[in-house]
Amino acid sequence: MLSKILELNDTQASFVSLIFKYCDDTQLPLLDLKDFKRVLQFISNEGKQDIEKHYGSISTTSVGTILRKVIELEQQGADKFFGEKSFEVDDLVRIDEQGRGVVSIIRLVDLQDRPKLFSTFMLSLLAEIYSSFPEEGDLPQPKLIIFIDEAHLIFKEASKALLEQIETIIKLIRSKGVGIFFCTQNPTDVPASVLSQLGLKVQHALRAFTAKDRQMIKLTAENYPISEYYKTDEMLTSLGIGEAAITALNEKGSPTPLAATLLRAPQSRMDILINEEIDELVRNSKLFSKYNENIDRESAYELLNRKIEVSTKDKEFTLPKYDTPKQQRGRPKEEKSTFEKVLTSSTTKQIGNTVVRELARGILGVLGLGGSTRRRK
């Protein structure tokens, strides 16, 4: 799941699997992005040799790519999302003292500039629900309904692999007794592969101000069952406030005919809650004490830092060995005496070469090998 969120290729995804395997084997808890980043840095530096010995070669390029993608996600606020305490999806199906269901509102603000974080959160939530809820079959009514507002943010920057994962979950999650509503201004914001899995469609009025808008409305009309009573594209543009075009699935699982319907106004306050009201609701919630705590247990980040610190201290008390020419080049040089400096100086070497050359000429002359000199005499 993390590999798909980070949009990794197969090679990079295999490194993510290696990281989780290594952490399982060495009992390094991965609790947040800080842990994941530290393990990435460790396996590409201090621990590379040991890991390659047991798990295969490590590509520094792939590790660097993964690290950059994690940092990109972290900059959108994912460091607060990944961590403890983890949200328990069973809290979404709790009931009150009267046996009535409880409406849970997960308030995510300022996410229009962080679409990757929003899609990460929603996909993780759906995946957790699917993996933890038991199979329910065909219930008379669902035990949980999820309304996802601003749903286009989920699909805005989703990769192909991520879209396939969402499509799979939407197809299978119905067997868990869960229904999902995607709320968005335009049906074309939802990919066709996901849109085709939705049985109930409630479409409010669409307005055409440009030629592109008219084309979009024609495409939207084709997503609905063919109607004998409406020109669907015209009907969608003529709906008023409180009206919607609706089609659902009947008891046989077939789409019902499209119907222009008047909606009943909700019996609630249609207004924005002020901060004081939100704070009061949060304080009175039974979940407040459960989740209103920052937990940062000892995990991979702290354990690896301690391991490196201990290793560094041990090296400080170990005398270096100079066995190779490369190591010899790094060895400290002893200070030479004045006599040694004179012997090894360039001037001394030049004088020595001159003396040797003159002695050689004299010896050659005595041996009768200096022929040119005798002729001049």
Per-position DSSP letters for 308-348, written without gaps between them: HHHHHHHHHTS-----SHHHHHTSPPPPPPHHHHHHTSHHH
Confidence bin at 243 (pLDDT 50/70/90): very high
- 8 A C-beta contact, residue 166 and residue 129: no
Question: What residue segments make up the domains of the chain, in order of their start?
Answer: 2-78+296-316, 86-198
pLDDT at 72: 83
- 8 A C-beta contact, residue 170 and residue 127: no
- Can you tell me the distance from the alpha carbon of 37 to that of 30, in angstroms, rounded to the nearest whole number? 10
pLDDT digits (tens, 9 = 90+) for 151-209: 887 787 676 777 787 888 888 888 888 988 988 888 878 888 888 888 888 988 888 88
Q: Whole-prediction pTM value?
A: 0.65
pLDDT at 145: 92
Q: Tokens in use for 129?
A: 């629900």
pLDDT at 144: 92
Provide mean pLDDT across the span 4-11.
82
pLDDT at 244: 92
pLDDT at 157: 66
- Can you tell me the distance from the alpha carbon of 203 to that of 219, in angstroms, rounded to the nearest whole number? 13
pLDDT digits (tens, 9 = 90+) for 309-358: 776 666 554 434 444 444 444 444 444 554 455 445 555 555 555 544 55
For the cut 70, the answer to whether the pLDDT of residue 210 exceeds it is: yes
Provide mean pLDDT across the span 207-214.
83
pLDDT digits (tens, 9 = 90+) for 64-100: 888 898 888 888 777 777 777 778 889 899 888 888 8
Provide mean pLDDT across the span 126-137.
87
**Three-state secondary structure string covering 80-113:** HHCCECCCCHHHHHCECCCCCECCCCCCCCCCCC
**Three-state secondary structure string covering 158-223:** CCHHHHHHHHHHHHHHHHHCEEEEECCCCHHHCCHHHHCCCCCEEECCCCCCCHHHHHHHHHHHCC
Provide mean pLDDT across the span 357-374.
44
DSSP category for residue 261: E
Provide mean pLDDT across the span 361-373.
42
Peptide bond into 85 cis (omega under 30): yes
pLDDT digits (tens, 9 = 90+) for 244-303: 999 898 888 888 888 899 988 888 888 888 889 988 888 888 888 887 777 777 778 788
pLDDT at 357: 56
pLDDT at 373: 40
